[in-house]
Amino acid sequence: MSSSIFTPARPLRVAVIGSGPSGIYAAEALIKQSQVPAEVDVFDRLPTPYGLVRYGVAPDHLKIKSVTTLFQKVLSDTRVRFLGNVELGKDLSVDDLRAHYDAVIYTVGASSDRRLRVPGEDLTGSLSATEFVAWYNGHPDAAARTMLLHAAGAAVVGAGNVALDVSRILAKTAGELHTSDIAAHALAALEHSQVKDVYLLARRGPLQAKFTTKELREFGELEGADVVVLPEEIAVSDEDYAAITDNVVRRNVDVLREFAAKPLAGKPRRVHLRFLVSPAALLEGAAGHVGGIKLEKNRLDEEGNAVGTGEFETLDVQMVLRSVGYQGVALPGVPFDDKRGVIPNTAGRVEGRSGEYTSGWIKRGPSGVIGTNKADSVETVNTLLADLGTLTPAPGSSREAIDALLAAREVDVVTLSDHLTLEAHELAGGQAAGRPRLKVAERGAMFEVIRSGR
């Protein structure tokens, strides 16, 4: 089959599953190329587009979220449609997609989290950063969760940017949070938070930390919290410092040294950035609740891996958030590599499948910033374009046919226009409250707003 079968009257029709950054960048790459006329339907199981930009990026990092202006431009192109509230495996199957599209790109990200695998991990008060982030960002799946913030001590396990995000949100004052787009239920709860000490626990040293300097520096600017760094835990010899080749790592060490040297100002909260410690166990307090965390001190072996020293200490914490990485989840009917948590692929082409592709975290694993997904999706689209001659066109494929199928299944599809109604509502609510936005978190409430605009 030659690529010339796709014409302006019968363009290449692609379904993108997931409207986060990698999905939007894939749609953009498809409409920007000039090899073949293309039409893209971008699906999402949620009623809102943009995935982790809406539900992952920290609420006080509003600048990062401005990328949605570009994303909205992509979804507004006449060749692109947004079909929200449509779930693969529930409302549509892979067979349905193959019957209606010439190609499918899976861009569903990594929605689950990794575990610590230590005793006590399932005690009340121990949860994943993913759950906590979903809660404060107003994710509909987490809207009803009650977060117990009576803890005086909170431990955040991990040394990536997500660990910094959750530690910072726990340490910020209500006034600081007010200027963010944090969900109203989370703002109300955090206003009454009893947290005094937040411990970020890195299992390795400052040279191995995954976080970036800009995010680390923000701890020096907190209104209501001092930063505590133990000089002995960030010790780097002159020789090792001179050997650092990565600028981010060097700047991280510089900032940590500044923090360690700075006298405490006596602010009401403290963020302790701890290194070379691993949780050995979460200790049970009253009524099945976390009552402490037992840490083992580590040293680094020659490969830079953390090795326990047999020396332990206990921290007085009542809340533990594990922030040790996201984890991809298998899609029904799509090949999956359980060990790596990704869809097995070569340059985006799903292994063993023709016409099926993948991009983003579910393709390469949960790493990189939003922009990383642009190059990743361009690679996938280039792979798809190189395969054009081998694609089997879906007979009878059209927008009308997929719309009719979803209507017959009584799926209440959310369009871009619906999304813009919700967006306008949230921004107007924000303006009235003197906040950047008032997020609607609960699904039913979202649909109430959406229907009012139809």
The amino acid that residue 7 corresponds to is T
Only one of the segments 146-154, 257-265, 335-343, 367-375 lies at the binding site for ligand NAP (rule: CB under 6 A); that segment is 367-375
Would the annotation count 191 as a binding residue? no
Structure tokens at 342: 């990704």
Tokens of 260: 């360690």
Per CB under 6 A, the list member of 55, 326, 416, 418 interacting with ligand NAP is 326
What lies within 8 Å, CB to CB, of 257 at 6+ separation is: 234
Give Cβ neighbours of residue 103 (< 8 Å, ≥ 6 apart): 12, 13, 14, 15, 355, 356, 357, 384, 391
Q: How far is the CB of 182 from ligand NAP (least distance, A)?
A: 15
* Residue 415 three-state SS: coil
Using the contact rule CB under 6 A, the part of the chain among 191-199, 203-211, 387-395, 433-441 near ligand NAP is: 203-211
Residue nearest to ligand NAP (CB): 160
Q: Which of residues 210-249 bind ligand NAP (CB under 6 A)?
A: 210, 215
The tokens for 123 are: 């005690």
Looking at 204, 269, 349, 435, which residue binds ligand NAP (CB under 6 A)? 204
In angstroms, the CA 12 to CA 337 distance is 29
The interface mask with ligand NAP, positions 152-191, x = CB under 6 A, is -----xxxxxxx-x--------------------------
The answer to whether 159 touches 323, Cβ cutoff 8 Å, is: no
What residues from 50 to 79 belong to the interface with ligand NAP (CB under 6 A)? Answer: 61
Binding status of residue 208 toward ligand NAP by CB under 6 A: yes
Is 413 labelled as part of a ligand binding site?
A: no
Residue 264: closest CA among 254, 255, 272: 272
> What does residue 297 show for φ and ψ, rounded to 5 degrees?
-75, 145
- Answer for which of 128, 193, 278, 383 binds ligand NAP (CB under 6 A) is 278
Q: Phi/psi at 304 (nearest 5 deg)?
A: 85, 15
Nearest to 183 by CA among 370, 385, 437: 437
Q: How far is CA 237 from CA 139, 211, 242, 388, in A?
A: 44, 21, 9, 55
- Judged by CB under 6 A, the chain residues 82 through 141 that form the site for ligand NAP are 116
Q: Is 204 annotated as a binding residue?
A: yes
CB of 114 to ligand NAP, least distance (A): 6
Q: Binding site membership: which residues?
A: 22, 52, 88, 203-204, 215, 361, 368-370
Residue ranges for the known binding site for FAD are 22, 52, 88, 361, 368-370
- Using CB under 6 A, list all residues that contact ligand NAP: 61, 116, 157-163, 165, 203-204, 208, 210, 215, 278, 323-326, 366-369
